[in-house]
Structure 1
Amino acid sequence: MDTALYLLPVTLGDTAIERVLPSYNKEIILQIKHFIVEDVRSARRFLKKVDRDIDIDGLAFYPLNKHTAPEVVSGYLRPLEEGHPMGVISEAGCPAVADPGADVVAIAQRKNLKVVPLVGPSSIILSVMGSGFNGQSFAFHGYLPIDPSERIKRIKELEQRIYGESQTQLFIETPYRNNKMAEDILKTCRPQTKLCIAANITCEGEYIKTKTIREWKGHLPDLSKIPCIFLIYK
């Protein structure tokens, strides 16, 4: 096993490990003793899910979130610099994609340390795959503005890009505001614009559906409290 910073995908929800992660990932994980994690509790749960006999108390965890100072993050890589493999674990899905793990990867690259991304579920990629939209050119924008007028303005800007650049536009919302976001999209976008709603990807109740704005009106599902990605295209 190479001494490297391994980017370890996790399940997107309460999904069986073997459904979404290669067995090779487990082989790598069981050889790592140092983990940089978005949330220590969820990381420990994930590792127990990978192998219930794993010695959790024998592992070292380094919390990484948007509030972690860069100099602290840089210090996290000391075990790797001393020759020990390390792993990065996100809250869900692939680390370093729309995730604070990107900060530690950037530092590892600057220090010329080896980085190895492992295969696993990415809700961004899976939603593009299932949408029927342009998979050659797409952009993920994370969360749109909370302010209603600013959010409407942003949706209009993204819609202009799909017609001007033929680029699929993706964005997310806090689960309890999903329904409001869907309503705003229907109010704002052109009737012929296509909207894909991708929810609970790889989990029980997975829902990936593409319709025009006109077709969605009066037929929106209840999206409250579930992870969801919205995609628009022409």
Structure 2
Amino acid sequence: MQQQRSFTKEASGSLFLVPTPIGNLEDMTYRAVNTLKSVDLIAAEDTRHTQQLLNQFEIETKQISFHEHNKENRIPELVERLQDGTNIAQVSDAGMPSISDPGHELVLAALAADIQVVPLPGASAGITALVASGLSPQPFTFYGFLPRKQSEQIKTLTDLAQKPETILFYEAPHRLAKTLANIQTVYGDDRQVSLARELTKKYEEFIRGTAAEVADWAQQSEVRGEFVVMVAGNEHPTEAVEAADPLAELSPVEAVNALVASGMKTTAAVKQVSKLRQLDRQALYQTYEEQK
């Protein structure tokens, strides 16, 4: 058990988790600015990007890079500095640290070293989108970015299909159409979906409709900006939800070939196709091997 009083003076430094704007600089809070000015060091995901923010608010605090590619070496260094009494603020490029951004491992390391971790409230794309989505805001499940591979994405969506709460995903513009097509495939044409893009920016936009309507919009439109994808929960979670076959137009062997080409192992691909189409797995495997 560990008990923390965030603002009790300690010999060691404190780790402050500071949110930054997701677009509109006016969403920077007074407290965030004052914290970044008062700490000894800022651990930033991209120091060049963060420097623009610091210049905007006349913050002169020194930065150090902390991102996915250097975290293994950087975390011990940051923890040592915290133990020596250095106050450090951690920021990502936008929004809350640790939410689809670096930070969680640093928090764990700081807590293991009995260092105070102090979070600041602020901008978060998921919550901002959810309250204007038109979908039920509570309860909700935040998932973040879905797997990129088709087969893995279908499996993840299927695993979430029984959830009665609204589900939140993040998605990049170049993958949006395929992701929405998979959502339509797994959840059906009529499930309600809400999209939010370019939140707090000049071209902020919401697209609300059925899975079929939203998927069609993505196919027909020039998609730009980062998206929050929100899917209504299953109103009848006790009813079994069968995943539709995303490769239905292909023969069983062609479907296996497509899944293997996407990176899935042969045995897993045969298992998935045979399950979706209610085929004998061993017979399909034998046929696949014969036609290779």
Equivalent in the alignment of 1:110: 112
User: Where in structure 2 are the equivalents of 1:192-211 lying within 5 Å?
Assistant: 192-211=190-209
Amino acid corresponding to residue 222 of structure 1 in structure 2:
S
User: Judging changes above 3 Å, is the alpha-carbon distance between structure 1 residues 174 and 218 closer, same or farther for their aligned structure 2 residues?
Assistant: closer
8 Å CA contact 2:19, 2:92 repeated in 1: yes
Equivalent in the alignment of 1:183: 181
Q: Distance in 1 between the 2:109 and 2:16 partners?
A: 14
Amino acid corresponding to residue 229 of structure 1 in structure 2:
V
Q: Which structure has more RCO (C-alpha within 8 Å, separation ≥ 6)? A: 1
Aligned length: 222
Equivalent in the alignment of 2:162: 161
Equivalent in the alignment of 1:137: 139
TM-score by length of 1: 0.83
Q: Distance in 2 between the 1:149 and 1:107 partners?
A: 34
Q: Distance in 1 between the 2:55 and 2:162 partners?
A: 44
User: Judging changes above 3 Å, is the alpha-carbon distance between structure 1 residues 147 and 75 closer, same or farther for their aligned structure 2 residues?
Assistant: same
Greater strand fraction, Structure 1 or Structure 2: 1
Quote how far apart the aligned CAs of 1:167 are.
2.0
SS of the equivalent of 2:82 reads helix
Equivalent in the alignment of 1:87: 89
TM-score by length of 2: 0.68
Q: Which runs of 5+ in 1 are unaligned?
A: none
1:121 to 116, 123, 127: 123
8 Å CA contact 1:93, 1:122 repeated in 2: yes
Equivalent in the alignment of 2:4: none
8 Å CA contact 2:196, 2:207 repeated in 1: yes
Amino acid corresponding to residue 200 of structure 1 in structure 2:
E
Worse overlay, 75-84 or 195-204: 75-84
Question: Greater Rg, structure 1 or structure 2?
Answer: 2
Q: Distance in 2 between the 1:217 and 1:71 partners?
A: 42
Q: Distance in 2 between the 1:76 and 1:186 partners?
A: 45
Equivalent in the alignment of 1:47: 54
Please report the RMSD computed on the Cα atoms of aligned residues, expressed in angstroms: 2.4
SS of the equivalent of 1:176 reads helix
Deviations 1:17-68 (A, max 9, x none): x2x12212212211123111111211212211222xx336xx141x222233
Amino acid corresponding to residue 40 of structure 1 in structure 2:
T
